[in-house]
Structure 1
Amino acid sequence: MKKRYLAVVLLAMQLVGCSKFDEINTNPETPEKVKASMIATRIIMDIANQPGQKGFMRPYFLTKEITWGEMADQNEQFNSFGTQLMSLISLNDAQHMVNFATSEKLKNSYKGVMHFAQAYRFYELTMALGDIPYKDALIGESDKVYFPKYDTQKDVFLGILNELEQADALFAAGDKFDGDPMFAGDVNKWRKLANSFELNVLLQLSKKVGDADLKVKERFNTILTSKPIFTSNADNFQLLRSDKSGQAYPFYKIGNNNLIYAIVSDEVTDRLKTTKDRRLFYYAKPSPVKIAAGFAATDYNAYVGVSPALTYGDLAAVRTKNDYSRLNDRYTEIPTGEPTQQYSYAQMCFVVAEAAARGWVTESDVNWYKKGIEAAMKFIVDNTPNTTQFHQGMPMDQNYVTTAVNEYGTNFPTDLEKKVEAIITQKYLASFLQGRISPYYDYRRTSYPKWKINPASSLNVDAPDKIPTRWRYPAVEYNNNGENVSEALKRQYGGIDDPNQLMWILK
């Protein structure tokens, strides 16, 4: 967030001459004038797109959905947070997107995109680090603030909530806009996204429910009762993949040398096997050792997850025996794979279910819980070819989905803590290779799901029996904004950039 990160990026220059030289040297495939839609596409894609191959899988090491067999690549490495987020580079151009809009309604729409993108990015930063620059973060060019002060996490969250509410109001006063690869410029869908994502932000503030400034319960109720929110998987904030260069599913096999390292974690397989949940057959492939021993691919016992808590030596021994479940072919053999979600209807349903269980709203917690499970199952079915290769002969037809959802509902607990555990566990299972690190944030807030931790394999030197609760600040911040970083550390963590200390929202 220093000067070099806050400088406005010059995207293009309008051609002002009309000489023969200009005509000869003009590339007909390069736009001569920047449009609001061009900037909007880049800002939205910066949020929605994900790296490929191992880069795509890394968040799922952290959430213990994938055990990685390449080397001792443990998921408790909480070193400094990536500078790619600290730069906030794509947001510097957001105001230019608004300036290039050709009508007041379009200005409102593009302002809505700007406020949502800012809320989303600052949410990611503060959830990872704690206090961050917010008010001063994007004014390096306009106000010559090159060393932004760090705002308290409470003030950052107040800003995030305000930006999401502004986004909703702006989209309501806006018009369909170009440059949107997610919702084709549909402002009603963007309203749903802004409000549904705000529900998630509010739930992450569950330990601050009594704060008079945040008004967590009041805001949550207002959104749920009077604003548009997601109503089905058709509203998912997700990127559709295609069989084109650069647009395929991030773990598709072509050019991917990492296929042999991805192992489905027992944190996922064991939970699905316990409840005889057929999502197992869509997430994993049976162990070749079990198949050779006579188990059918339709047998839950043919599936063997591997603990990500194993030491590397133990993991290497497992790989040698080949008795484990690899990823289902739907993730590696189909170029389009499945859409990659940033926030989904299923996730929102579980957010509302938890809020209802906590008494924030008068809605039925079990009904929202069931809606979330059903949406998660339907998402898989709707994005998977109905062949044995991809469901092992155990398809989730409508009859199965209805029966399974009702059974989960019947077994829904009555005790609050057990309710929260059940909701978070189902939210976790619905997030398999989706939503990046969001399950980690639920884990550190609620301690669910109850992941296995092995001090012998942990890289958390100071607390090997725990998963760290935050990342360290980037080294570039110490080099270029050291005074403000130091002040923020003293205010939060006693001056020590310790990944095991609790940030404000967790206290």
Structure 2
Amino acid sequence: MIASTSCSHFDELNANPDAAVNATAPMLATKLILNITDETISTNKTFMQPGMLGKTILYTEFAEDMQYNNLGRTSYDVLPVLTNVEKMLNYSVAGSVKNSYTALGHFVRAWKFFNLTMRVGDIPYSNALKGESNNVAPTYDTQKQVFQGILNELDEADKLFAQGATFDGDPVYAGNVTKWRKLVNTFELQVLLNLYKKTSDTDLKVTERFKDIVNNRPVFTSNADNFQLVYSDKASQRYPFYKLNNQAMIYTMVSSTLTDKLKALDDRRLYYYANPSTVQLAKGKAVNDPTAYIGTDPSMVYADVSKIYATKDFSNVNSRYMELPASEPVYLLSYAQLKFILAEATVRGWISGTTAAAYYTDGITAAMKFVMDNTPNDPAYHHNMPITADYISSYVASDKVKLAGTSEQQIEQIITQQFLSTFLQAQYNAFFENRRTGYPVFPVNPASNMNVPGNKLPVRWLYPQSELDYNGTNVKLALTNQYNGNDNTNEQMWILK
């Protein structure tokens, strides 16, 4: 009787009068957008893990897998949220707004499947997410088929956004379909650049698609178009590495892979990304002396890193990342990245009309303006070396920075500048760009490298254990078709061949 009485009014007692009773298209749109932004951008130590893999950050509490190139198994848990796409459309009323929601669905699907195939290769795509139809063991599409599907979905998303109207539930662009078109098309250019080894494939039409987007569709035109989250001093809306409840802030170190390149170029982002070594300051060096900024080799064995950490003679990340609750926005794709994509495409001969040097200069300028505009003009955060419009102009004109040399040397410059621009941004972009181009060169130390063999960086994650357990026939067939049956981190997926 007690149990019966206690439970009889459960729904009544626990009902939230402010909560929605039924789902709506705007609610589901918010969920989908936040899933690929807010829920992707982790906090505290986990926020730094992409930097560990991209060789800009070290972590000293323990020997971190990402720091030492142990990718392990990926997860397909990122996909079930896509079942909300169909539900979102079911709640939409026919018309221009439904076009926008349909376009959003295509974009989110393309984004999710792209990031997953980039990790492992072949994945379920055409038969994925059909569990409600009792298809719980989906077959695998080849990576080429997945990329074809992604490109087609992005083309459709652009077309539908062009026929759409402002929609509710968008925490990034406030439902502005023009900004969404710019994102869709900029992202498609990024996808196409990852197919640069497949330009002879007549099914994909890589260069033709690329030219069409550049010539006929809207793309990012300023930093205001960045696909990013903007933070504020409110609960659950603060910068991901803000000091509140952040024990990880004492364990980070800035990598010499980053600091050495910044110093070599006389790049003032050094003073915005890092703090000087307290030991060097105690020796009398000024806060704007570049030799006071001590990067640590990210391939150094953990025991030696710990010894350096104990001496305190190293640079941690700039205080702004910990002291400012709003700090800088975190983007997943930026205007500066677009300019570097266009610069590389021009060097490769895909597009013409604007020089690679002009795109490259625009990319650097946008990247530096992003840092300048999102950092208070406070010596605590730029160490008396402020980035100004005049400085940016002199930097891009310097012989150390100007685009020059052979095509391959120019591509190295472009990728290096993109690497410098995406510090604590764009998540795994540095790793994927290094894997794609070899730039910038990442240090490999067999004594610390968790990858086998120890003289190589891994190029892919392993398939999820859940797939091996519950969809073994299909995942093993995918492994046979791609990697001679070897689920190995060194196997070259289709886009890399």
TM-score by length of 2: 0.95
Distance 2:12 2:135 in 1: 41
User: C-alpha distance in 2, partners of 1:426/1:21?
Assistant: 58
Counterpart residue identity of residue 417, structure 2: Q
Superposed counterparts of 1:70-89, under 5 Å? 70-73=61-64, 74-85=67-78, 88-89=79-80
Amino acid paired to 1:132: I
Asked if 1:386 corresponds to 2:377, the answer is yes
Which residue of the partner structure matches residue 438 of structure 2?
A: 447
Give the match for residue 5 of structure 1.
none
1:438 offset after TM fit, Å? Answer: 1.0
1:128 maps to which of 119, 124, 133 = 119
Q: Which runs of 5+ in 2 are unaligned?
A: 1-8
**Aligned letter for 1:32?**
V
Asked whether the 8 Å contact 1:264–1:284 carries over to 2, the reply is yes
**Structure 2: distance between partners of 1:220 and 1:312:** 44
SS at match of 1:327: coil
Amino acid at match of 1:27: N
**Aligned-pair CA distance for 1:69:** 1.1
DSSP 3-state at the match of 1:164? helix
- Is residue 400 from structure 1 mapped to residue 391 from structure 2 by the alignment? yes
Q: How many Å apart are 1:140 and its aligned residue? A: 2.3
Indicate yes or no: 2:50 matched with 1:59.
yes
Shift of 1:23: 8.6
Distance in 1 between residues matched to 2:14 and 2:248, nearest whole Å: 44
Give, in whole Å, the separation in 1 of the partners of 2:13 and 2:484. Answer: 63
SS in 2 for 1:341: strand
Q: Which residue of 1 aligns with 2:92?
A: 101
Residue number in structure 1 paired with 2:273:
283
Shift of 1:25: 7.5
2:6 corresponding residue in structure 1: none
Separation (CA, whole Å) in 1 of partners of 2:399 and 2:320: 26
Equivalent residue of 1:167, what SS?
helix
User: How many aligned residue pairs are there?
Assistant: 484
> Partner amino acid for 1:167?
A
Structure 2 residue matching 1:42: 3-state secondary structure: helix
Equivalent positions of 1:246-257 (< 5 A) are 246-257=236-247
Letter of the 2:32 counterpart: I
Q: Give the Å deviation of 1:409.
A: 8.4
Residue identity opposite 1:375 in structure 2 = A
Partner of 1:166: 156
> Unpaired runs of 5+ in structure 1?
1-19
* 2:80–2:129 CA contact under 8 A, matched in 1: no
Aligned position for 1:324: 314
Q: Deviations over 1:102-134 (max 9, x none)?
A: 341111000111000000000011000000000
For residue 228 of structure 1, what is the aligned residue in structure 2?
218
Q: Could you tell me whether the CA contact under 8 Å between 2:396 and 2:402 is conserved in 1?
A: no
Q: 8 Å contact 1:455–1:465 — kept in the other structure?
A: yes
Q: What SS is found at the alignment partner of 1:332? A: helix
Name the amino acid aligned to 1:394. Answer: M
- In structure 2, what is the Cα distance between the partners aligned to 1:106 and 1:58? 38
Corresponding residue for residue 171 of structure 2: 181
Could you say what secondary structure the match of 1:210 adopts?
coil
Instruction: Spell out the pairing of 1:332-411 with structure 2 (5 A cutoff).
Output: 332-362=322-352, 363-407=354-398, 411=402
Q: Which residue of 1 aligns with 2:421?
A: 430
Is 1:241 paired with 2:234? no
Q: 1:370 touches 1:409 (CA, 8 Å); kept in 2? A: no
Deviates more, 1:24-33 or 1:253-262: 24-33
Q: Identity rate of aligned residues, in percent? A: 47
Matching of residues 31-46 of structure 1 within 5 Å: 31-46=20-35
Matched, 1:493 2:486: no
> Are the aligned partners of 1:164 and 1:198 in contact in 2 as well (CA < 8 Å)?
yes
Aligned-residue offset at 1:314: 1.0
Give the match's secondary structure for 1:495: coil
Q: Distance in 1 between matches of 2:362 and 2:327?
A: 24
What amino acid maps onto 2:294 in structure 1?
V
Q: Using the alignment, how far apart are the partners of 2:36 and 2:423 within structure 1? A: 19
Deviates more, 1:336-345 or 1:93-102: 93-102
Cα shift readout 1:170-199 (whole Å, capped 9, x = no counterpart)? 100000000000000000000000000000
Does the 8 Å CA contact 1:240/1:338 hold for their aligned counterparts? yes
What is the rounded CA distance, in whole Å, between the counterparts of 2:135 and 2:392 in structure 1? Answer: 55
Is the contact between residue 62 and residue 75 of structure 1 (CA under 8 Å) also seen in structure 2? yes
Q: Which amino acid aligns with 1:37?
A: P
Mapping 1:416-427, distance limit 5 Å: 416-427=407-418
